[in-house]
Amino acid sequence: MSQTSQGARVLIVGAGPAGIRAAGTLCAAGLRPIVVDEGARAGGQIYRRPPKGFTRSPETLYGSEAAKARALHGAFDALVAADALDYLPRASVVALSDGVAQVLNEGRIRQVPYDRLLLATGAMDRVAPVPGWQSAGVYTLGAAQIALKAQGVALGQQIVLAGSGPLLTLLAYQLRKAGAGLAAVLDTSSLTTQMRGLPGMLARPAVALRGVTMRARLGRLYHSGVTLERIETDATGPVAIHWCDRRGRPRRTPCDMVGLGWHLRAETHLADLAGIVFDYSEVWAQWLPRADAMGRAGQGRYLAGDGLRILGADGAEIAGRLAAIACLQDLGLPAPDPRGELRSRARMERFARGLARGFPWPAQMVRALPDDSIICRCEGITAADLRAGAVLGGAEANRVKSLARVGMGRCQGRYCQLAGAELIAAGAGQSPQAAGRLRGQAPARPVPAGAYCDETGQ
Amino acid sequence: MIGGAQGRVVRLAETARAPVRFWFDGEELRALKGDTVLTAILLSARALRPSEFGPEDRAGFCLMGACQDCWVWPETGPRFRACSTPIAEGMRLLSRPPAPWPEESEA
Ligand code: FES
């Protein structure tokens, strides 16, 4: 390393709960980290802050989590005010090579050298295709929540939320409270499956109880154990959603907006570009980066938050501190004792595993998708294209990718990869794990032409 | 207006902000300061742009910069994501690339 330990440049990507707590821990040890974040204001997705000039209180925006949101925002604002770190908001890391990050900001690429890399890139909705989901007016659950929190708007007048996971209930509750028109909440997980997750969820009884209470308030809008058939659309968007209830009876609910999401998927593109190894997790039904309990991934790379394991916002704060402590230890600097945080982390993980078990990925529904269903929303690739690609290419995701172009659209497979792997695996009678993982490529975000040309103003 | 005359987005709160005037496909529209371009357009329109691969229109999907569904074009300059760009007074926006502008590199 060219720098002394005290002068080590630690690049933190992401300023959500994990990134903010990592930054605080490093600053407290006397380091000056660089924080790159895509948001205009630090906070991440769960504690996303509205633009300046909005007036709703944290209590209105974050409910029972308002105190945590305040503390987190306050902690980061204080670091910025004290000039304790270098902060690049509205900026994306698009590539990593040899200790230099290429950061896209305001249409320009700037080179940011670093000694250690701490990725706190968070998670996004894990989405399964439903026939008709390519229509305008179909969004992720996360999108509907961002619209509500950061803009004070609903994305339609008659909203159906469908999928499974904690966000399904939470968002439904928040939308109703804000006065949005909610037509139905469709959970593909049956009550029996949900009960299987309960023992794990009792690792955090207060959180589990809050979920149950919110669910109860939804009353007859909420349906468990449903199968989603298709979204009926006209030229401008959804008209209705067709589904079967838990007894298999066909139902049709009129709507002008559908929100979809099956819990979360770790955002791992940069971990991939950083060369970190991935393992398939049966529990989370997705590929996750390999790291120790502290978040150490080797060779000066650290991971924290939902981008490593989907432990939620509280778990992300803990993971952020742990990854920073690991980094300090590796630099040979004095570091706080991690044992308390490691115990809390273990409890978060028990709870999160319960959630994953209780609100699973709808593998059977995806495997049964009709041939003409669009799998890749970006480029209109169908289930038939993928199944044909799997016949030609064998059951290996990267070969099918090059044959069928799935995962090569604008979102770079973020929203089709898991469903694509499911279909490829189904064709070969295998598990999605056997289909392999789509490898990420740079840039992690599309880069406008000209962004590389004139860093020096030429 | 692309996809019909009626808007998609409904305001529920935060209505006491300063008004902003902008143009979308030549039509004068109103929004509020602090709205994203996506919010601003979808208050009056059903979609942001046509799809290049199918008959359906695009109106955004993730609102967090991950899907790239929400591109719109200024009358001059490169396209941008409507979900992560604030609306500004006098913006002139298009649902399609302006004719002479070269397509940007695809990722
Ligand atoms: S809506 Fe997904 S990037 Fe803007």
Whether B37 lines ligand 1, by a CB cut-off of 6 Å, is no
Q: What is the pLDDT of residues A142-180, one digit of tens each?
A: 999 999 999 999 999 999 999 999 999 999 999 999 999
Q: B66 lies in which domain range?
A: 18-94
Please say whether the beta carbons of A93 and A15 come within 8 A. Answer: no
Sorted by sequence, the CB contacts under 8 Å of residue A307 that are 6+ apart come out as A14, A18, A119, A120, A121, A122, A123, A266, A267, A268, A271, A289
CB A419 within 8 A of CB B81: no
Query: pLDDT grade, residue A397 (50/70/90)?
Result: low
Say if B82 falls within a structural domain.
yes
Check residue B106 and give its pLDDT.
42
pLDDT, average across residues A110-135: 96
Instruction: Report whether residue B81 contacts ligand 1, using a CB cutoff of 6 Å.
Output: yes
Q: Dig out the tokens for A337 from the structure.
A: 């004792």
Cα dist from A87 to A9, A31, A74, A201, whole Å: 13, 14, 15, 36
CATH of the domain at B73: 3.10.20.440
Quote the number of domains for chain B: 1
Q: Over 80: is that where the pLDDT of A402 sits?
A: no
pLDDT band at B105 (very low <50, low <70, confident <90, very high): very low
Higher pLDDT, A55 or A439: A55
Please give the structure tokens belonging to residue A358.
């209780």
Q: Which of A37, A57, A236, A264 to mutate to test the interface with B (most CBs of B within 10 A)?
A: A236
Mean predicted confidence (pLDDT) in A119-139: 96
Q: What percent of chain A has pLDDT over 90?
A: 73
DSSP state of A49: P
- The answer to whether residue B105 sits within a structural domain is no
Residues 72-91 of B with CB under 8 A from A: 78-79, 84, 86
Phi, psi of A21 (to 5 degrees): -70, -35
Phi then psi dihedrals of residue A164, to 5 deg: -165, 155
With vertex at residue B85, the alpha carbon angle to CA B48 and CA A70, rounded to the nearest 5 degrees, is 125
Q: Establish if B56 touches chain A: CB-CB under 8 angstroms.
A: yes
Across chain A, mean pLDDT equals 91
pLDDT in tens, B75-101: 988 899 999 999 999 999 999 998 755
Please check the confidence at residue A2 and state whether its pLDDT lies above 60: no
Amino acid identity of residue A355, one-letter, is: L
In a domain, B1, yes or no: no
Residue B62 alpha carbon, nearest atom of ligand 1: 2
Chain B: residue nearest A41 by CA? B84
Q: Is B60 on the interface with A (CB under 8 A)?
A: yes
| Mutational pocket test of ligand 1: of B49, B67, B85, the residue with most ligand atoms within 8 Å of the beta carbon | B67
Please list, residue by residue across A325-335, b when 16 or more beta carbons sit within 10 angstroms of its beta carbon and e when fewer do. bbbbebbebeb
Q: Residue B60: CB within 6 Å of ligand 1?
A: yes
First vs last Cα of chain B: how many Å apart?
Answer: 29
Q: What is the pTM of this model?
A: 0.91
pLDDT of residue B87: 97
pLDDT in tens, A301-341: 999 999 999 999 999 999 999 999 999 999 999 999 999 99
Lowest mean pLDDT among A102-106, B29-33, B51-55: B51-55
What is the helix (H) or strand (E) element at residue A240, kind and residue range?
A: strand A237-244
Q: For ligand 1, what atom is nearest to the CA of residue B67?
A: 2
Mutate to test the interface with B, among A37, A146, A155 (most CBs of B within 10 A): A155
Q: The tokens 């803009």 sit on which residue?
A: A151
Distance (Å, whole) CA B104 – CA B106 = 6
Residue A20 has pLDDT above 80, yes or no: yes
Give the tokens for residue A365.
């529904």
Q: Residue A394: is its pLDDT beyond 80?
A: no
* Amino acid A132: pLDDT: 96
Confidence grade of residue A374 (pLDDT, cut at 50, 70, 90): very high
Q: What is the pLDDT of residue A430?
A: 77
Q: Is residue B100 part of a domain?
A: no
Give pLDDT, residue A452.
67
B11 domain-assigned: no
- pLDDT tops 80 at residue A451: no
In a domain, B8, yes or no: no
Measure the CA–CA gap between A190 and A194, rounded to whole angstroms: 6
Q: What is the mean pLDDT of chain B?
A: 88
- In order, the DSSP letters of A286-337 are EEEE---TT-EEETTEEE-GGGTS--HHHHHHHHHHHHHHHHHHHTT-----
Task: Classify burial at A397, counting beta carbons within 10 Å of its beta carbon; exposed 0-12, middle 13-18, buried 19 or more.
Answer: buried
For A153, the closest of B10, B61, B102 (CB atoms) is: B10
Predicted local distance difference test score (pLDDT) of residue A387: 85
Distance A76 CA to ligand 1 centre (A): 26
Which 8-state DSSP code applies to residue A219? Answer: G
Q: Is residue B61 a part of any domain in this protein?
A: yes
Evaluate whether residue B44 is within a structural domain.
yes
